[in-house]
């Protein structure tokens, strides 16, 4: 037989126990592009701006973004080292299983999957909201008032379009993600320039970096005291934590990326780094464009109020459209990441019905996984149909809840393998990209930050959502604790009642005769000679 060898990517994947089944057609730039697209400063900075404004105001956003970004970059660097060592589609789940056993992998996989599904829902719903705002601004005949039902219908249509794009072609996805990078770069730059040159005047440096706001209703409107400092202000951090997330996509797409051990590692930390810089510039442009701080607060703290103040209708519509299209690119990329994680987790038998979610069509896309991801995102967002007004302004409590669910699910999933890597210590065998000895402090800092922000994400986002307080109603409740705690309880029961008896972690797709490596078997299966040892 001809002595034809597997390339480095296929050989490394074989060493981890898998055959090359997905198309490895993504370049390093495409891998970076999908994480950059999912982070999407045109999505998170726009849609969750109200979380920062209502729970701290301009100062919380201006200072909070760069501070939280530094911690997130540390988390990303820890994950870069892990993906370099283990470049598989299972990503986070696979790392935890390898370092901590089946139980660690089981919990990590489900937290990761729940977080990804919530991110799908939140980004698509944000896209629908901003598309509706764009159409309303362009044409006064579009709607005489905001309609939750109309936005929800648009949300479902956007999910369906994103699913269709994902189903048809892996190559098309790579092209769209490459386009998305430049849309985010030039689109965000255009928004910044518009907000610099067109408003009649700008807020002062003092108001941007020192003014605080409490629009949550918790402790009235007070921006002083221990209560505001520890129960209200921390919620503003979710703006950054939510926006700069989803970069685990570089890991989930590693089996489709060339030179994955190096490219996927760079994709993670570089997407965080550039998004952090771009996002801060964009947010400062928002803050300096504020014409009337009080009206932004009374309007619910959303960016659309700022644009309406600072710009003509035409230019406000342009900014909203740039954001809406960026959010659509983000939705497509989010669904790609979710379905690849679902594919890998299902491939290992951890998800009910996994034989369907891991089934590939002729384009080598997990088509049923795409469909079920979209359906679950719709179900998770159903509470958004309930109208909620706080202090007279419409506030998307359900959207904020889905945001928090995504943050907790994803970041807790990140924390488990990062902690396990720290625990393994110098016995860990790094890939091409390594932290060296810096892992000893970086891993600990990453885990502490994740634990703190996960607790913060459980906080109520309005006074009406606190049981026992006058005016309490379920429609105001941040239902994140219900979903997260309920999910963890179900997972705990499932593990102890059944899963621990049969779940063994990642299942390899190669069967090795004695003395033969995974690479040997795959080479022989494809009619090639076994590579020399």
The answer for 261, left when phi > 0, alpha when psi is -120 to 50, beta otherwise, is alpha
Question: Who wins on pLDDT, 229 or 21?
Answer: 229
pLDDT tens digits, 332-348:
988 988 888 888 888 88
Q: Looking at residue 229, what DSSP letter applies? A: I
Structure tokens at 447: 């885990």
pLDDT tens digits, 126-146:
999 999 888 887 765 555 566
Query: What pTM does this model have?
Result: 0.85
- At 6 the pLDDT is 57
Query: Rounded to an integer, what distance in angstroms lies between the CA atom of residue 135 and that of residue 379?
Result: 26
Structure tokens at 315: 């230019």
Do the Cβ atoms of 18 and 508 come closer than 8 Å? yes
Strand partners, 56: 213
pLDDT band at 391 (very low <50, low <70, confident <90, very high): low
Mean pLDDT of the chain: 85
Structure tokens at 138: 């362009």
Answer yes or no: is pLDDT of 440 > 90.
Answer: yes
pLDDT band at 395 (very low <50, low <70, confident <90, very high): low
Three-state DSSP class for residue 527? coil
Query: Rounded to an integer, what distance in angstroms lies between the CA atom of residue 72 and that of residue 276?
Result: 9
- At 310 the pLDDT is 95
- At 514 the pLDDT is 44
Query: Rounded to an integer, what distance in angstroms lies between the CA atom of residue 318 and that of residue 190?
Result: 10
The three-state DSSP-derived secondary structure of 354-371 is HHHHCCCCCCCCCHHHHH
- At 142 the pLDDT is 52
- At 523 the pLDDT is 37
- Determine what percent of the chain is predicted with pLDDT higher than 70: 88
- At 441 the pLDDT is 96
Query: Rounded to an integer, what distance in angstroms lies between the CA atom of residue 44 and that of residue 46?
Result: 5
Query: What residues contact residue 103 under an 8 Å CB cut-off, 6+ apart?
Result: 495, 500
Query: Rounded to an integer, what distance in angstroms lies between the CA atom of residue 138 and that of residue 319?
Result: 11
CATH class of 32-501: mainly alpha
Overall average pLDDT of the 359-364 stretch: 78
Nearest 10 degrees: Cα torsion 197, 199, 205, 211? -150
Overall average pLDDT of the 37-57 stretch: 91
Answer yes or no: is pLDDT of 423 > 70.
Answer: yes
Answer yes or no: is pLDDT of 392 > 80.
Answer: no
Q: Give domain limits for the chain.
A: 32-501
- At 4 the pLDDT is 42
Overall average pLDDT of the 56-68 stretch: 97
Question: Which among 260, 249, 340 has a CA at the least distance from the CA of 7?
Answer: 260
CA 447 to centroid of chain Cα atoms: 18
Query: What residues contact residue 48 under an 8 Å CB cut-off, 6+ apart?
Result: 126, 238, 239, 242, 243, 400, 403
pLDDT band at 235 (very low <50, low <70, confident <90, very high): very high
Answer yes or no: is pLDDT of 529 > 60.
Answer: no
Of 203-207, 266-270, 511-515, the least confident? 511-515
Do the Cβ atoms of 456 and 238 come closer than 8 Å? yes
Burial (CB count within 10 angstroms: exposed 0-12, middle 13-18, buried 19+), residue 121: buried
- Determine what percent of the chain is predicted with pLDDT higher than 90: 46
- At 396 the pLDDT is 64
- At 62 the pLDDT is 98
Q: If you write DSSP's letter for every residue of 38-104 in order, what string do you get?
A: HHTTTTHHHHTHHHHHHEEHHHHHHHHHHHHHHHHHHHHHHHHHHHHH---TTTHHHHHHHHH-HHH
pLDDT band at 513 (very low <50, low <70, confident <90, very high): very low
- At 141 the pLDDT is 53
Strand partners, 220: 217
Overall average pLDDT of the 267-282 stretch: 95
- At 140 the pLDDT is 58
- At 311 the pLDDT is 95
pLDDT tens digits, 160-217:
999 998 888 667 777 787 788 889 999 999 999 999 999 999 999 999 999 999 988 8
């Amino acid at each position: 037989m001809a002595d034809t060898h597997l390339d480095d990517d296929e050989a490394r994947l074989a060493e981890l126990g898998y055959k090359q089944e997905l198309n490895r057609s993504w370049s390093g730039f495409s891998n970076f592009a999908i994480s950059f697209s999912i982070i999407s400063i045109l999505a998170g900075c726009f849609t969750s701006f109200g979380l920062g404004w209502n729970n701290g105001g301009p100062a919380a956003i201006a200072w909070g973004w760069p501070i939280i970004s530094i911690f997130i970059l540390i988390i990303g660097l820890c994950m870069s080292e892990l993906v370099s060592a283990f470049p598989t589609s299972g990503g986070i789940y696979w790392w935890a299983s390898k370092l901590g056993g089946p139980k660690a992998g089981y919990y990590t996989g489900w937290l990761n999957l729940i977080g990804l599904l919530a991110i799908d829902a939140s980004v698509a719903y944000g896209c629908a909201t901003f598309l509706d705002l764009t159409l309303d601004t362009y044409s006064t005949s579009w709607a005489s008032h905001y309609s939750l039902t109309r936005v929800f219908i648009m949300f479902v249509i956007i999910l369906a379009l994103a699913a269709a794009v994902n189903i048809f072609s892996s190559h098309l996805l790579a092209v769209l993600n490459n386009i998305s990078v430049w849309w985010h770069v030039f689109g965000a730059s255009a928004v910044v320039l518009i907000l610099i040159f067109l408003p009649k005047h700008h807020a002062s440096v003092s108001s941007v970096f020192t003014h605080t706001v409490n629009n949550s209703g918790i402790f009235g409107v007070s921006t002083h005291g221990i209560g505001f400092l520890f129960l209200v202000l921390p919620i503003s951090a979710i703006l950054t934590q939510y926006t700069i997330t989803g970069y685990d996509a570089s890991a989930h797409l590693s089996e489709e990326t060339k030179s994955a051990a190096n490219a996927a590692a760079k994709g993670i930390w570089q997407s965080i780094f550039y998004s952090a810089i771009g996002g801060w510039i964009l947010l400062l442009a928002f803050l300096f464009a504020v014409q009337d701080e009080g009206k932004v607060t009374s309007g619910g703290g959303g960016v659309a109020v700022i644009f309406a103040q600072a710009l003509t209708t035409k230019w406000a519509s342009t900014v909203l459209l740039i954001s809406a299209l960026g959010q659509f690119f983000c939705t497509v990329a989010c669904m790609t990441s979710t379905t690849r994680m679902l594919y890998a987790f299902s491939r290992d038998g951890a998800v009910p019905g996994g034989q369907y979610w891991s089934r590939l069509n002729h384009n080598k896309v997990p088509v049923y996984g795409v469909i079920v991801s979209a359906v679950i995102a719709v179900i998770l967002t159903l509470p958004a149909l309930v109208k909620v007004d706080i202090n007279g302004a419409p506030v998307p409590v359900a959207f904020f809840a889905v945001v928090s669910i995504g943050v907790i699910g994803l970041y807790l999933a990140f924390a488990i393998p990062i902690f396990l890597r720290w625990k393994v210590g110098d016995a860990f065998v790094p890939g091409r990209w390594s932290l060296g000895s810096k892992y000893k402090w970086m891993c600990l800092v990453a885990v502490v930050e994740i634990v703190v922000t996960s607790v913060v994400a459980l906080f109520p986002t309005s006074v009406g959502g606190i049981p026992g307080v006058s005016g309490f109603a379920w429609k105001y409740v941040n239902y994140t604790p219900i979903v997260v705690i309920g999910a963890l309880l179900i997972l705990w029961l499932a593990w102890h009642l059944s899963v621990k008896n049969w779940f063994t972690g990642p299942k390899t797709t190669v069967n090795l005769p004695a003395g033969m490596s995974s690479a040997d078997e795959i080479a022989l299966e494809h009619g090639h000679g076994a590579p020399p040892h």
